[in-house]
A and B are shown apart, each in its own frame.
Chain A
């Protein structure tokens, strides 16, 4: 979302007046004194820019190298073994992969409708005077540290979820998906908290994408007799489809890697249960909980292997998100131009 933050600001706002700039006349003659100054400057800054690629490679390299022991021992079966027993030194990542995917899926299922509706409201209905400050407030939510969400989750959301789950249990308890016992902490609570955390992402990116849809599309639909809602729902939203999907993938990537808030409300138990109310565990949460305490090489290596898998998953999801968003914004500018 960082790219989105300031699109509301016009380009001229960031510059000083040309007259003032000209008054500070640059020293002429730099070229003669250092004939290669321009090239050196370019390559100098390039070196720093390449740092980003270097860091990405170093992260991948360190994770791959340090997880070798676990990979040698378990190979691919690490991914679908569900025993996690540090005492017996038996490690399988399935409960964590399941927990990560399940909580993220719950989060997206709740956050997508909510975020899309809010984005429609901000982009299509409200006047800029009202929607800009509201969008800014929602972007502030992105900045709230996840440990703060976790704190509020533990002391506010968990009791709420416990009473909701207790109310639901007598009615739906016979269905395995909603089976007890109820703790308040667990898969569903983590999913709901994640949903609250990623809604602002979806809102702010989707709003940008909706605002990029050419006005002519709306005019045409309205001229054909659509109501404003039909215009939004059948023309504007489908036009921005891939960008909205991109925002969802971006939010998904954040949900997959979210650590603190999840670990505080999920119960941290490496079990795969059919029930949404049962405690579970995620890849990021197990790292946060057990990494500092891992007392054997194999244990540490298994944890780093989990980090490696998590790294791989988020890279793929992020890559898809960037491509989708780039595709929409390009299309919008093409049509406009």
Chain B
């Protein structure tokens, strides 16, 4: 009996040790990723990186200013497509979303969310690139926007649902019609969460590479307007990483560091936006 008891406790200790190791390993990956990128990218990062165009192979220096601007333009188009559709759709699901229609919309959003981003890229290629006859910022931004929609939709719904029913009832009791209640009471009350959600979905598409490969394509120079191929940070990282040149590898590390800081920074910022609300609430 006593030996059995000891054995069971030994098993417990071993397995709990294993869970600790697994957790440590997973968290360790993040710390390693960050540390290694700061180490590799930090040494290649300079002011030139943000202000100069890429130089031809073999010529040292240069930067990725065009890719930074390209990524910003792509995200702008993505936001124009993704935020209105995702946000208003999310309002519908949160406020009117009962029954089979709402269920199928939720299900479609989840399915669309799981569709590989490269498949969205193929679709946009067929829809925009083929009719236009060339790659463009517009096509790339549209692909990113389509990827954003389901994410924005579900986070908007989730955060509007957290707004207490009593607020809605209070507004309705004052004689406000339902749409006024939603626009003037529910949305302002849930705005903090919705903003955080939008920020997260932007951060997610900012790092997408696959859908841009044959929509926005790439560009060694500045891209004028919205209908030309454009460089973007993720695609630059890919092209530079698989190239055989050491100099390009260094640039890829620098670009990856910048991208990672932007993406993780937005994630932390989103969390702060949410937590600040919590802190204020507790204080009052």
Contact = CB atoms under 8 A, between A and B. Distances in A.
A9 interface: yes
Contacts of B189: 14-16, 21
Interface string B243-284: 000000100110010011001100110010011011001001
A199 B26 CA distance: 7
Given A48-B88, A143-B263, A114 B26 contact: yes
A277 B12 CA distance: 36
A46 interface: yes
Contacts of B180: 26-27, 30
Given A27-B180, A311-B115, A145 B207 contact: yes
A56 B274 CA distance: 31
A52 B108 contact: yes
B47 to A, nearest CB: 22
Given A15-B164, A292-B214, A52 B105 contact: yes
Contact of B237 (A42, A139, A147, A284): A147
Nearest to A122: B23
Interface stretch (B52-60, B61-69, B167-175, B219-227): B167-175
Query: Chain B CB within 10 Å — which of A21, A44, A136, A284 has the most?
Result: A21
Contact of A2 (B113, B176, B181, B275): B113
A14 B16 contact: no
Contact of B259 (A55, A136, A145): A145
Contacts of B40: 155
B92 A6 contact: no
Interface in A123-154: 125, 134, 136-141, 143-148, 150-152, 154
Given A15-B189, A30-B176, A151-B252, A291 B115 contact: no
Interface in A264-320: 264, 284, 287-288, 291-292, 303-304, 307, 310-311, 314-315, 317-319
A13 B116 contact: no
Contacts of A139: 267
B140 interface: no
Interface string B1-21: 000000011011001101111
Query: Chain B CB within 10 Å — which of A17, A26, A55 has the most?
Result: A26
Given A145-B208, A264-B238, A287-B122, A9 B190 contact: no
B216 to A, nearest CB: 11
A58 B241 contact: no
**Interface residues of A toward B: which range?**
35 or more
Given A21-B185, A145-B263, A310 B119 contact: yes
B110 interface: yes
Nearest to A136: B271
**Interface residues of B toward A: which range?**
35 or more
Contacts of A30: 176-177, 179-180
Contact of A14 (B30, B107, B190): B190
Contacts of B200: 2, 5, 143
Interface string B80-97: 000011011111110111
Interface in A38-92: 38, 40-42, 44-46, 48-53, 55-56, 58-59, 62-63, 65-66
B163 interface: yes
Contacts of A40: 179
A284 to B, nearest CB: 5
A229 B119 contact: no
A117 interface: yes
A223 interface: no
Interface stretch (A167-175, A211-219, A250-258, A328-336): A250-258
B129 to A, nearest CB: 10
Contact of A22 (B11, B20, B170, B237): B170
Contacts of B192: 14
Given A6-B274, A10-B278, A48-B89, A154 B158 contact: no
A295 B66 CA distance: 28
A32 to B, nearest CB: 9
B118 A15 contact: no
B241 A151 contact: yes
B115 A148 contact: no
Query: Chain A CB within 10 Å — which of B101, B210, B268, B271 has the most?
Result: B210
Nearest to A202: B26
Contacts of B167: 15, 18, 21
B264 A121 contact: no
A21 B187 CA distance: 11
Interface string B179-223: 111101100111011001000100110111110011001000000
B217 A52 contact: no
Given A2-B154, A51-B149, A147 B264 contact: no
A11 B108 contact: no
Given A143-B267, A315-B111, A148 B116 contact: no
A156 B237 CA distance: 16
A26 B176 contact: yes
A115 B175 CA distance: 52
Contacts of B164: 11-12, 15
B118 to A, nearest CB: 5
A259 B190 contact: no
B118 A288 contact: yes
3 smallest CB-CB distances across A and B, nearest first, come from A145-B207, A257-B116, A318-B114
25 contacts: A6-B158, A14-B189, A25-B174, A28-B174, A37-B177, A41-B179, A45-B95, A49-B92, A49-B102, A52-B105, A55-B149, A56-B112, A118-B19, A141-B29, A143-B207, A145-B260, A146-B209, A151-B252, A151-B256, A196-B29, A199-B26, A227-B8, A260-B209, A311-B119, A314-B114
